[in-house]
């Protein structure tokens, strides 16, 4: 990180986010988002309910530390194995994270589908699930790799499913039922 990155990170860590908003540090920029739509929250709740608590932490407001980047994203859901991280702290190292979930909003389409895809792949997070209520699809990305044709880190495996289809998430030993997922109203 550069001195500018360090200053932005210090500002971010001390930022007082107004109630009803969420802030993330993405590639050296502080991004502030308005509170989510109910559909967004219902989708996150449905996914959270399907991941067994016995083996996994399922955090909705957890920042992730991605090595070598001026980024501290706060995915809509972070899943990591119980015992992978001990003690208090604001950041979970990307290496400890098993899956991240982002529910796309009208203002986060490019960030969720492109910027965060590459960022999470660079952090070697095994599973990235993009749930897109604008298009009514889920994109399951697995097998992060730093060696890709484009020269940028990316996921080698991509599976797109329409809402209503089951989504096997092998690393968690579950199949997500997406029949409750809804699209945003126009």
Tens digit of pLDDT for each residue in 62-91?
A: 999 998 888 889 999 999 999 999 888 889
pLDDT value for 110:
92
pLDDT value for 122:
93
Q: Is 9 part of a structural domain of the chain? A: no
The stretch 47-51 carries a mean pLDDT of 98
Q: Is 29 part of a structural domain of the chain? A: no
The stretch 13-20 carries a mean pLDDT of 74
Count of beta carbons in the 10 Å neighbourhood of residue 41: 14
Q: Is 4 part of a structural domain of the chain? A: no
100-131 confidence digits (pLDDT tens)? 999 999 888 999 999 999 999 999 999 999 99
Q: How confident is the model at residue 31 (pLDDT cuts 50, 70, 90)?
A: confident
Q: How confident is the model at residue 186 (pLDDT cuts 50, 70, 90)?
A: low
pLDDT value for 121:
95
| Domain carrying residue 126 | 37-177
pLDDT value for 132:
98
DSSP secondary structure string for all residues of 102-154: EE--TTTHHIIIIIHHHHHHHTT-SEEEEEETTTTEEEEEEEEES--TTSS-E
Count of beta carbons in the 10 Å neighbourhood of residue 44: 20
Residue 3 has pLDDT above 60, yes or no: no
pLDDT value for 124:
96
pLDDT value for 5:
66
Q: Is 141 part of a structural domain of the chain? A: yes
pLDDT value for 146:
80
128-167 confidence digits (pLDDT tens)? 999 999 999 999 999 999 877 778 899 999 999 999 999 9
Distance CA 155, CA 127 (A): 9
Residue 4 has pLDDT above 70, yes or no: no
Q: Is 108 part of a structural domain of the chain? A: yes
Q: What is the mean pLDDT of the chain?
A: 89
CA 150 to chain centroid: 22
Work out how many domains the chain is built from and give that number: 1
Q: Is 143 part of a structural domain of the chain? A: yes
DSSP character for 5? H
Angle at 68 between CA 34 and CA 154, to 5 degrees: 75
Q: Is 17 part of a structural domain of the chain? A: no
Question: Contact, 104 vs 113, CB < 8 A?
Answer: yes
Give, in order, the Cα–Cα distances in Å from 32 to each of 8, 85, 109, 161: 14, 27, 15, 29
Q: Is 26 part of a structural domain of the chain? A: no
Q: Residue 49 is part of a domain; what is its CATH number?
A: 3.90.1570.10
CA 172 to chain centroid: 16
pLDDT value for 95:
96
pLDDT value for 34:
65
């Amino acid at each position: 990180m550069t001195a500018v990155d360090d200053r932005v990170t210090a500002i971010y860590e001390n930022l007082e986010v107004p109630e009803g908003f969420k802030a993330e540090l993405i590639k050296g920029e502080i991004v502030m988002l308005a509170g989510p739509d109910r559909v967004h929250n219902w989708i996150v709740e449905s996914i959270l309910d399907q991941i067994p608590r016995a083996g996994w932490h399922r955090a909705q407001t957890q920042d992730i530390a991605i090595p070598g980047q001026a980024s501290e994203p706060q995915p809509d859901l972070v899943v990591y194995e119980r015992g992978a991280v001990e003690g208090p702290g604001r950041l979970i190292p990307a290496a400890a994270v098993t899956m991240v979930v982002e529910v796309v909003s009208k203002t986060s389409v490019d960030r969720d589908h492109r910027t965060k895809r590459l960022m999470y792949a660079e952090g070697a997070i095994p599973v990235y699930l993009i749930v897109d209520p604008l298009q009514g699809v889920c994109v399951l990305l697995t097998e992060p790799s730093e060696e890709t044709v484009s020269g940028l880190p990316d996921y080698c495996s991509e599976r797109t499913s329409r809402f209503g289809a089951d989504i096997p998430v092998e690393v968690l030993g579950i199949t997500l039922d997406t029949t409750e997922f809804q699209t945003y109203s126009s």
